[in-house]
Structure 1
Amino acid sequence: MIYVDNNATTPMAVEVAQAMNQAYESAFFNPASQHQAGQKAHRRLDDARETILNNLGAETTRFASDRLVFTSGGTEANNLAVFGLGKQTAGQVIVSAIEHPSILEAADQLTSRGVKVRVLPVDDRGVVVFSELEAWLAEPTRLVSVMLGNNETGVLQPIPEISALCRQRKVPLHVDAVQGIGKIPVNFRDLGASAMTLTPHKFHGPRGVGALLLDDNVTLNPSMFGGSQQLAMRPGTESVELAIGFERSLQLAIETLPEAGPRMQALRDRLETLLLDLVGANEMVIIGQDSPRLPHTSNVAFPGIDRQALVMALDMAGVACSTGSACASGSSEPSPTLIAMGLAEDVISGSIRLSLSRFTTEPEVDEVASRISNCVKRLRRR
């Protein structure tokens, strides 16, 4: 099986598994315990948290102290942001039309509670309409949430410009950076966001852990209660082992990025070029091609081909890919992201997502292109 569904999850790096195994053997103690072993685990947890903050360009000096709240994953971190940021102020919540379901469905819950939610449109390139945001922020606003890079198309959003506008209006900005970490350089302070979501299973780390990074000036209202851990913002016993896996995978992602980022982009471009040659430029569409994109993500459409039939055919041919977000993979509904871009119906219904990693090889890319071409041609004949 050739795996090109890395936006869903990535294989764990050997070094990460080794670090976690060592932690399971020696650092299994509850970090909230008062005995020496527990306090040693607590110090190791704090070390991991500080390393993660430093690697992401957060401020950890005595003049400003950004915070990292560990969660069970990206979905919980996004929910914590939507429900916990700006809750103490009145006003609307603005989210983009291409957000992950963990943002959009949380926003739907806010609507059911009487909060005004506005969905920021995107253009046909998949980029948010900045002028709309500027106009909407004339009204009292408690939170804006716009992702860094889209999980389906890879299209990057103008976060520095959005954050500058939000700071000017004194509105908290949350950025879902889940797909960007480890693929492009990400510096929390340079982004200018109030909060940022990340999770290590997208960059060869463990599943079951994520984080919400908070600017030192932000107030977060908790969604859970029952303990004083993490300043009571997200109570519950922290997993030292998962935190160590998080720390090690982020270190590796950043260390390898100068070589891995351009290499992933070269492989993605090679895959798209091969498909254009094998399938025919008139028989496929590269979605978001004219926009800045994450280097590892390609969303390609074959008008006239049913996307689910193609994914199943590819699965039988030994290629693991997807039709979009893994959190919506059980749905037969068309992609809200592609609908928001205003794409033609046959493009939307014929699109699949191919996502690479730093472990993907050139022979794999070549073989994937060949198998996709064969499956598309066979389905067209039918």
Structure 2
Amino acid sequence: MQSIYMDHAATTPLATEVLEEMTVIWQGPGGNPSSVHAFGRNAKQQLGRARDRIATQLHCSPAELIFTSGGTESDNLGLAGAAWAQRKAGRDHIITTAIEHHAVLHAVDRLEEQGFRVTRLLPDASGAIVPAQVIEAMNEQTALVSVMLVNNETGTVQPIEQIGAAARERGILFHVDAIQALGRLPLRLREMPVDLASFSAHKINGPQGIGALYVAKGTRFEPQLLGGPQERNRRAGTENVAGACGFARALELAESRRESKRERMLQLRQRFLELLSDLIGRDAFILNGGSSEQVPDILNLSFPGVSAESLLMNLDIEGIAVSGGSACSSGALSRSHVLTAMGLSEQLAGSAVRFSFGLGNTMEEIEYSAQIVATLVLRIRTTA
């Protein structure tokens, strides 16, 4: 039986080149970057070089990057750090969307419990946020707007340039969850109307447990983790030196391959959809968010009359890893909050599966997987 991984939007395999660079760090000599002796100075130099390398790829200043433990912390830190700083300036209103990752949604829920006022906007039927709605929701008390760049479930690309420009005109801080955009879209942070942006290494064939938060120079920001003076007093805690170096290498590789990877992902996507159309008919599935701009390697499909949970379980038995809905603590599936916000019926949202392609996927795997999906869909419909 084949073993095929098509869940790259969840996490990606660690690149060999990244592992090699991290292994050198792990083999030592070790050192705490905050220590003043030679071991500490060496670790600090390695950390500084990693920060410089990431800043070069993101087109920002190294001083504008804070290393974190991953995307969730970057989102939480960016939102809370900006919101509390703005509250000192008399602003307590937050605008976000109903299709954000839970790392944003739950962080905003906590801020609301702490006294902030929150506006949550719905997308249109394609999954895109309408800039005019965001602008209409802004007022003199708005402290912060948070809109993701690429949706993790549908791959929809959001119009952050228009939203960010409007926020900047009004003195409102703009946070962007760019975790799924990293390595997929060109990011020149100093040219973008963005004050804070969140990133994670494990989405680009880097290590898990390391991320970064971009905080543009001059942005009001309140630290949330207290302790030592690390990260210019913005995020306490001993830094993950090996992780930072792995992140830097992964980003360099991702950027060098970005255009060629995009072309390859388009080919895989088109072939997968073409085969499904041939095998079960184009009317047998719905491409969610297909009328909006999407990254090519995230494909969200609903199969009317088929339970996503049944399809996922059967695909797993066949050795094919994909995802659907949102995983909860029990391991079962809950209805996707993204698809629900887009207006999909309970039946369509409950039949949605996300296929996300990445480095290592071959055309042969795509063709084999499409055949298995088609066979399972027809079988499940017949027995339902």
Q: TM-score range by the shorter chain?
A: over 0.9
- Give the 3-state SS of the residue equivalent to 2:27 in structure 1: helix
Q: Deviations over 1:294-350 (max 9, x none)?
A: 121000010111111110011011110000456778353211100110112221110
- Looking at structure 2, the residues matched to 97 and 329 of structure 1 have their Cα atoms a distance apart, in angstroms, of 23
Matched, 1:292 2:293: yes
Structure-1 residue corresponding to 2:307: 306
Matched, 1:315 2:312: no
- Looking at structure 2, the residues matched to 183 and 43 of structure 1 have their Cα atoms a distance apart, in angstroms, of 29
Q: CA deviation at 1:3?
A: 0.4
Structure-1 residue corresponding to 2:67: 70
Kept in 2: contact 1:98–1:150 (CA 8 A): yes
Structure-2 residue corresponding to 1:160: 161
- Looking at structure 1, the residues matched to 330 and 289 of structure 2 have their Cα atoms a distance apart, in angstroms, of 21
Q: CA deviation at 1:109?
A: 1.0
Kept in 2: contact 1:91–1:139 (CA 8 A): no
> TM-score w.r.t. structure 1 length?
0.96
Seen in structure 2, the aligned counterparts of structure 1 residues 100 and 27 have a Cα distance that, compared at 3 Å, is: farther
Kept in 2: contact 1:10–1:202 (CA 8 A): yes
Structure-1 residue corresponding to 2:282: 281
| Structure 2 letter corresponding to 1:323 | G
Structure-1 residue corresponding to 2:22: 20
Once the two structures are superposed, the pairs formed by residues 85-164 of structure 1 within 5 Å of their partners are 85-88=82-85, 89=87, 90-164=91-165
Kept in 1: contact 2:326–2:334 (CA 8 A): no
Q: How many residues align?
A: 377
Q: Deviations over 1:90-119 (max 9, x none)?
A: 221111111000100111111211211110
Q: CA deviation at 1:28?
A: 2.2
Kept in 1: contact 2:126–2:292 (CA 8 A): yes
Structure-2 residue corresponding to 1:32: 34
- Give the 3-state SS of the residue equivalent to 1:157 in structure 2: coil
Seen in structure 2, the aligned counterparts of structure 1 residues 77 and 170 have a Cα distance that, compared at 3 Å, is: same
- Looking at structure 1, the residues matched to 181 and 166 of structure 2 have their Cα atoms a distance apart, in angstroms, of 22
Which runs of no fewer than 5 residues in structure 2 stay unpaired? none
> TM-score w.r.t. structure 2 length?
0.95
Structure-2 residue corresponding to 1:257: 258
| Structure 1 letter corresponding to 2:108 | A
| Structure 1 letter corresponding to 2:339 | L
Seen in structure 2, the aligned counterparts of structure 1 residues 329 and 120 have a Cα distance that, compared at 3 Å, is: farther
Matched, 1:182 2:183: yes
| Structure 2 letter corresponding to 1:200 | A
- Looking at structure 1, the residues matched to 329 and 185 of structure 2 have their Cα atoms a distance apart, in angstroms, of 25
Structure-2 residue corresponding to 1:53: 55
Q: Deviations over 1:34-59 (max 9, x none)?
A: 10121011011011001101111114
Report percent identity of matched pairs: 38
CA RMSD of aligned residues (A): 1.4
- Looking at structure 2, the residues matched to 180 and 18 of structure 1 have their Cα atoms a distance apart, in angstroms, of 25
Q: CA deviation at 1:129?
A: 2.3
Structure-1 residue corresponding to 2:9: 7
Kept in 1: contact 2:327–2:334 (CA 8 A): no
Which runs of no fewer than 5 residues in structure 1 stay unpaired? 61-65
Which stretch of the first structure deviates more once superposed, 147-156 or 229-238? 229-238
- Looking at structure 1, the residues matched to 330 and 180 of structure 2 have their Cα atoms a distance apart, in angstroms, of 17
Kept in 1: contact 2:300–2:352 (CA 8 A): yes
- Looking at structure 2, the residues matched to 381 and 302 of structure 1 have their Cα atoms a distance apart, in angstroms, of 13
Of the three residues 77, 81, 94, the one matched with 2:78 is 81
- Looking at structure 1, the residues matched to 328 and 259 of structure 2 have their Cα atoms a distance apart, in angstroms, of 30
- Give the 3-state SS of the residue equivalent to 1:85 in structure 2: helix
- Give the 3-state SS of the residue equivalent to 1:128 in structure 2: coil
Q: Deviations over 1:138-157 (max 9, x none)?
A: 34211100000000000000
Which stretch of the first structure deviates more once superposed, 185-194 or 16-25? 185-194
Which stretch of the first structure deviates more once superposed, 15-24 or 26-35? 26-35
- Give the 3-state SS of the residue equivalent to 2:25 in structure 1: helix
Seen in structure 2, the aligned counterparts of structure 1 residues 182 and 300 have a Cα distance that, compared at 3 Å, is: same
Structure-1 residue corresponding to 2:205: 204
| Structure 2 letter corresponding to 1:4 | M
Seen in structure 2, the aligned counterparts of structure 1 residues 93 and 323 have a Cα distance that, compared at 3 Å, is: same
- Looking at structure 2, the residues matched to 365 and 322 of structure 1 have their Cα atoms a distance apart, in angstroms, of 16
- Looking at structure 2, the residues matched to 75 and 327 of structure 1 have their Cα atoms a distance apart, in angstroms, of 16
